[in-house]
Amino acid sequence: SRLVLRDLSPEQGGTYHCKASTEAGAIRSAPAQLTVLAQDQQSCNPAPEPSLVELPRECPQDAAGSHYYNVGRCPPAPCAGSSGDQSGCGADVGQCCGVRRMEMREIPCAGFLLPIKVVAECGCGPCAQPRVLVQGRVTAADTGEPLRFGQIFLGGKKVGFTGYKGSFTIEVPPDTQRLVARFVDRQQRFVDAVKVLPFNRRGGAIYQEVKMLRKKEPVELDGSQSNAILLGEANGREPVGELILPAGTFLRPSGEVFKGKVKASITFLDPRDMATASAASSDLSFANAEGEIVPLRTYGMFSVDFREGESGAELQTGPVEVRMDAGQVWMPEHLQKMKLWSLNPETGLWEEEGILRLAGGRRRKREERTFLVGNLEIRERRLFNLDVPEDRRCFVKVRAYSSEKFNPYDQLEGVVISLINLEPQPGYPSNPRAWGRFDSVVTGPNGACLPAFCDGQRPDAYSAYVTATLGGEELEAVASSPKLNPNAVGVSQPYLGKLGYRRLDHDDPNLKKTAFQINVAKPDPNNVDETNGPIYPYRSLEECEEAPVSANHFRFYRVEVDKYEYNVVPFKESDLTSWTGDYLSWWPNPQEFRACFIKVRIEGPQEYMVRSRNTGGSHPRTRGQLYGLRDSRSVRDMLLENTSGACVEFKCSGMLFDQSLVDRTLVSIIPQGSCRRTAVNSLLQEYLSRHPPVAENNHTAAFTMLAPVDPLGHNYGIYTVTDQNPRLAKEIAIGRCFDGTSDGFSREMKADTGTAVPFTCQER
């Protein structure tokens, strides 16, 4: 179907959505933004927007010592179609705002001129179409065992398998709004995992760890007798409820009653166990009567698998009774709203099966109990849920940074921020009673807004546990002890005190620093201290998403050794649409990114910065011209005295963006200090001599080579990884370089393994 709007005026611009309704229910589309331009208004402003890049430390730009320079950018917005274009929108014909013209400038630095290309003019052109990927691993939640060769489904269609180590890659189909993937263990050891996976619409790969719940060992039941199975009785806890199976309830798919021996496996996911949150399926959402996707708060999920005792054939059931202990519901208002739900594995949405109603109790251990009772029929293998629709919702603003300097220009995109809603123990906010739901959002250029349950009356009615990962690497949260610094956390007082911010290691320094917990206190609109974030009312999503960096927000940052990257042609690795086709582009192909690193060993009493200078080596269009600089500080080897190692990126040799000629990049490796090269890896030396031309190495304070075209490996001290995500390619290559192997990974430097060039440095 197609919607055509004619004779529009600028005031009709805004946010629109479509709604489809049938007798079975309703669903809304994702919102779409309509921009209506006046007759003489341009959809792509030729003047570029400001965009700052950091220059080398030898290139201060003013008396204050600023190292930032405005290179400009063109926002990759769709261009409007012409008046004669039947489609009406440039998106259909692939026209987007982009770089039309760049110009070269030279920046005076200490002892040299630094070339830099800046955007001079924007204009409409073909849209960049980077691949959108989700990569990751699927493992068992209890043991970490990989799901080997498991099936992957998108909707009802099988799209692939996991690898031997549980790894997977999913290419996100165009126009996907909600990516629902189902992972199936063909050996039936695990419950099917239905995951709503976050992805970066701007292109590149997002990394996700998927956890699967191991099926509970089956028990034998007599199909001719009534049976009761407890839900959530493990680890000495009181059961959440029970499943009552009347005599004669088991059915073959033909409808024939089965009264023989039944093997029953009931796997319960208990939200009172914090470790189960990562293994929960879906994102706990359902479509209400208006078609709006709204959240649920869970009290437990269970998967059922009934099979004939001898043949192992699957069985269905007639009406069975689900009884939930009302004493496990700590919020009294939830007793009236509790429902039974089942998960649609294709949409990832929960569908209502029935209402749980208060019924008379029965005695157990001399105690009268009241139960919530509901009924269902099990006709297919689905996951079931004891849930409450919750309308007390807010958004939490979180940003991720490349360092703890929290520079607004150094925000990280493509970081997966995850929030788990907790129900605190009264009086013990750091000891939650249970988790209720979870959400994951990918950071964009302005951070991320995560949905969360909140309360305006009791600040600690709901709390949240927040983490951040980038390519499998956990980012660090801002410390809350020994002294809480509101400027570092990013939230001003007194609201910060009301939110009760605590990093995971607040009371125990041995715990990890990669998560924080807060009370999700709904902001009071009459209190000026609570109207500037980081918590926003649910109807203020746009305000949250567009909030300036000066507004209150929570922060994560990356902990890594000192490093610096400079590209003559600016490119933001988290936004693949910012790639520009130019002979001096560091990455010549926006669909595939090849990262190259060289390992340097340094004998010396301290850690040293090591620079790679990368210029054109053999291509006639770039010979002698700078591609970029890379600085990396060496990391001490904990086992070797006065020895450190550095993994330094260099520009890979290969085709340039026009894919016509290979360039052998001329790479110079220069430790910053009083250093002397003592040797060169013999295999690398032999390779370079057999692949002329050979670069001169007359200067003993540096190492120069025309970079190899072949990927080589750890025996040469060269580490090369290709991936659709530049950051992931670099992370994998660095891990191998630290480890000194071609297939391993380490965060601890092994300076004497897999090294290309050793230097000896004196203390300055």
- Tens digits of per-residue pLDDT, 473-515? 889 999 999 899 999 999 999 999 999 999 999 988 888 899 9
The answer on pLDDT for 689 being more than 90 is yes
Evaluate whether 98 touches 128 at the Cβ level (below 8 Å).
Answer: yes
* 42: DSSP letter: -
Q: Which pLDDT belongs to residue 192?
A: 93
* Confidence class for position 544, pLDDT limits 50, 70, 90: very high
- Name, in order, each residue with C-beta under 8 angstroms of 583's C-beta and a sequence gap of 6 or more: 619, 621, 622, 656, 657, 658
Per-residue CA distances from 475 to 259, 290, 415, 478 (Å): 55, 38, 9, 10
The answer on pLDDT for 363 being more than 50 is no
* Confidence class for position 361, pLDDT limits 50, 70, 90: low
Convert the pLDDT of each residue in 137-154 to its tens digit.
999 999 999 999 999 999
Q: Which pLDDT belongs to residue 88?
A: 45
Q: Which pLDDT belongs to residue 366?
A: 38
Q: Which pLDDT belongs to residue 382?
A: 73
Pairing label, strands 151-154, 157-161:
antiparallel
Radius of gyration over alpha carbons of the chain, in Å?
A: 29
Convert the pLDDT of each residue in 222-242 to its tens digit.
999 999 998 887 777 888 888
Q: What is the mean pLDDT of residues 260-272?
A: 91
Percent of the chain with pLDDT over 70: 95
The answer on pLDDT for 365 being more than 70 is no
Mean pLDDT taken over the chain: 88
Q: Which of 487, 514, 491, 488 is nearest to 503 (CA)?
A: 514
Q: Which tokens go with 621?
A: 């269009």
Whole-angstrom distance between the N-terminal and C-terminal Cα of the chain? 72
Q: What is the mean pLDDT of residues 345-372?
A: 72
Residue 732 main-chain phi, psi, to 5 deg: -65, -45
Amino acid at the residue 138: V
Q: What is the mean pLDDT of residues 421-448?
A: 75
Q: Which pLDDT belongs to residue 276?
A: 85
CA atoms within 13 A on the CB side of 705: 24
Q: Which pLDDT belongs to residue 368?
A: 55
Q: Which pLDDT belongs to residue 764?
A: 58
Mean pLDDT lowest for which of 20-34, 238-252, 658-672?
Answer: 20-34
Q: Which pLDDT belongs to residue 360?
A: 60
Mean pLDDT lowest for which of 24-28, 237-241, 465-469, 647-651?
Answer: 24-28
Residue scoring higher pLDDT (575 or 412)? 412
* Confidence class for position 573, pLDDT limits 50, 70, 90: confident
* Confidence class for position 429, pLDDT limits 50, 70, 90: very low
Q: What is the mean pLDDT of residues 251-273?
A: 91
Indicate yes or no: pTM above 0.85: no
CA 51, 57, 58, 61 torsion-angle sign: positive
The answer on pLDDT for 374 being more than 80 is no
Q: Which pLDDT belongs to residue 430?
A: 47
Q: Which of 602, 568, 617 is nearest to 701 (CA)?
A: 602
Percent of the chain with pLDDT over 90: 52
Helix (H, G, I), strand (E, B) or coil at 326: helix
Mean pLDDT lowest for which of 140-144, 162-166, 495-499, 572-576?
Answer: 572-576
* 510: DSSP letter: T
Convert the pLDDT of each residue in 392-406 to its tens digit.
889 999 999 988 889
* Confidence class for position 367, pLDDT limits 50, 70, 90: very low
* Confidence class for position 379, pLDDT limits 50, 70, 90: confident
Q: Which pLDDT belongs to residue 491?
A: 96
Convert the pLDDT of each residue in 607-642 to its tens digit.
999 999 999 999 999 999 999 999 999 999 999 999
Tell me the β-bridge partners of 339: 355, 387
The answer on pLDDT for 91 being more than 50 is no
Q: Which pLDDT belongs to residue 517?
A: 93
